[in-house]
Chain A
Amino acid sequence: MISEERVRIMTKMSLYENRTGAQDLKIGNYYKKDYSSFHTLVTVLWVTVGYVIIAALAIVSNMDALMKNLTMNKMIFLVIVAVGGYLIILIAYVIGAGIFYKNKHNGAKRRLKQYYRNLSRLGKIYKKESR
């Protein structure tokens, strides 16, 4: 006989597995600190690449203005501005990414906990039915 409760739990679990289950299981293998630190480091690398691209585009688009009257002082000033901009963006993204990935880990852990709870309930129902 079909148990309604069993079907309900199985549907919930199946929906979860199809949506974010696989990703959550991957995240769940990490400790929160490890997961957050690793992805923040990846973000640092990506932001560096992105900043280099932006800087390159800015240089290319303003090539004429930059080459005009280019002195050593002006060049040092531009480098300081570029590095300053990079540091500001980097710090903002490091803080933001840290919070983002910690929240992501918390969410994944919470959903996994519910998933395992459903799994144990399902096991109990099967045991009850087999008696």
Chain B
Amino acid sequence: MSTILVWKEQVQTLYARYSTYIDKALKFILGLAVFGVINGNIGYMKIASSALVTIGLSAVCAFLPLTLMVVLASLLILAHLYSLSLAVMAVTAAIFIVMYIFYFRFTPKKAWLVLLTPVAFAFKVPYLIPVALGLVGTPVCVVPIACGTVVYYMLHYVHTSSAALKGGGTDGLITSLTTFAKQALVNKEMWIMAAAFTICLLVVYTIRRLSADHAWKIAIITGAILDIIVIAAGSMVLNVKISYGAVILGSILAVALGFVLEILFFSMNYTRTERVQFEDDEYYYYVKAVPKLALSAPKKQVTKINEHKDTAIIDTEDIKKVASKQAVPTPKRKQTASSNWQRQSADEILLTRSLNKELNERQSKK
């Protein structure tokens, strides 16, 4: 545990020193993932779906606010869908506008969370998102997660049924409009996932704010289990095929990520918990104080650099030969200690003798 805490300190120090570059690099990676997923799945406009555009947009977004990345991603999606079908683009644009009107107009800074959910879905790990945001976010994060889920399933449907949606003429346009709108809004799997993520996030958030010991661990495990239960129940009730193996594996990964986040943001030493009770004129206070677990990373300070010195190579066989030829000198007995002792004992004998003599003389006189 101490090693992990030292690592944490080192990571924090590193981030504090190079935060400007790390932030930009992370934005660039997020951009690559977002634009890569979009171009990889629905790249119907050939000019926009090239790797150069993906890298270029990611590089531009690395230097811009995340809100602009959301806008650019939305525009890229609409451009690709326009190449596929005007009806599909119209429905998608309408859904994006609804999302903006009802939520992102109020908190545009959280709009980037919408991008995370489809990316997590594309990498087959969407279950990480509600657990992670329940731990480090607020209940409001439910809205961007739900919006992200809707966006992913919409794009997934376009990806799987692009041939059916590519209808020519007025009839084809109306048919694709109706079909896509129906699928975008009445996709059972989408609503199951949105409901599971919402419940999971709210439960994780509620439990992790409790004053109970190991609240974060309890929240992570409960959230992951609840996620599995809701998805399983939903798939059974609504008769939707969902791979339980992927759900369980994803939830295990979510638990692992949750524990990593706990170490990073909420490492506590519960063995040294103190409970204090006091009062003032208006209230009684029951205070529980849990000390934080922290270890300062050891700093390596180079004070002096010694000059490089070559050491002679010694052949041990030669030394052994020389040693065997030479006679081993016998150690001289140390005389000093023993002679001192002898001298001391002689003095004592002489003293006792003289004292005895004196005593005998006195006794004879009496």
On A, residues with C-beta under 8 Å from B are: 43, 46-47, 49-50, 53-54, 56-58, 60-64, 93, 97, 100
Contact = CB atoms under 8 A, between A and B. Distances in A.
A60 B177 contact: yes
Given A61-B186, A100-B106, A50 B181 contact: no
A-B CB proximity, top 8 nearest: A50-B101, A61-B181, A61-B182, A60-B181, A46-B101, A53-B94, A61-B185, A50-B98
Contact of B97 (A43, A53, A64, A100): A53
Contacts of B211: none
Interface in B6-58: none
Q: Is the interface of B mostly helix, strand, loop or mixed?
A: helix
A57 B101 contact: no
A57 B182 CA distance: 8
Given A53-B94, A100-B106, A61 B178 contact: yes
Given A53-B98, A64-B178, 12 more contacts: A46-B101, A49-B101, A50-B101, A53-B94, A53-B97, A57-B181, A57-B184, A57-B185, A60-B91, A60-B181, A61-B182, A62-B182
Contacts of A46: 101, 105
B95 interface: yes
Given A53-B94, A57-B95, A61-B186, A47 B102 contact: yes
A57 B26 CA distance: 37
Secondary structure type dominating chain A contacts: helix
Interface of B: 91, 94-95, 97-98, 101-102, 105-106, 177-178, 181-182, 184-186
Contacts of A50: 97-98, 101-102
A58 B185 CA distance: 8
A63 B178 contact: yes
Contact of B178 (A47, A60, A97): A60
A47 B186 contact: no
A30 B222 CA distance: 47
Contact of B101 (A47, A61, A64, A100): A47
Contacts of A58: 185
B95 to A, nearest CB: 7
Contacts of A64: 178
A63 B94 CA distance: 17
B106 A57 contact: no
Nearest to B107: A100
B110 to A, nearest CB: 14
A24 B105 CA distance: 17
Contact of B94 (A43, A57, A97, A100): A57
A58 B181 CA distance: 8
Contacts of B181: 57, 60-61
B17 to A, nearest CB: 19
30 contacts: A46-B101, A46-B105, A47-B101, A47-B102, A49-B97, A50-B98, A50-B101, A50-B102, A53-B94, A53-B97, A53-B98, A53-B101, A54-B98, A56-B94, A57-B91, A57-B94, A57-B95, A57-B98, A57-B184, A57-B185, A58-B185, A60-B91, A60-B177, A61-B178, A61-B186, A62-B182, A63-B178, A64-B178, A93-B102, A100-B106
With a 10 A CB-CB cut-off, give which of A57, A58, A93, A97 has the most chain B CB atoms.
A57
B258 to A, nearest CB: 31
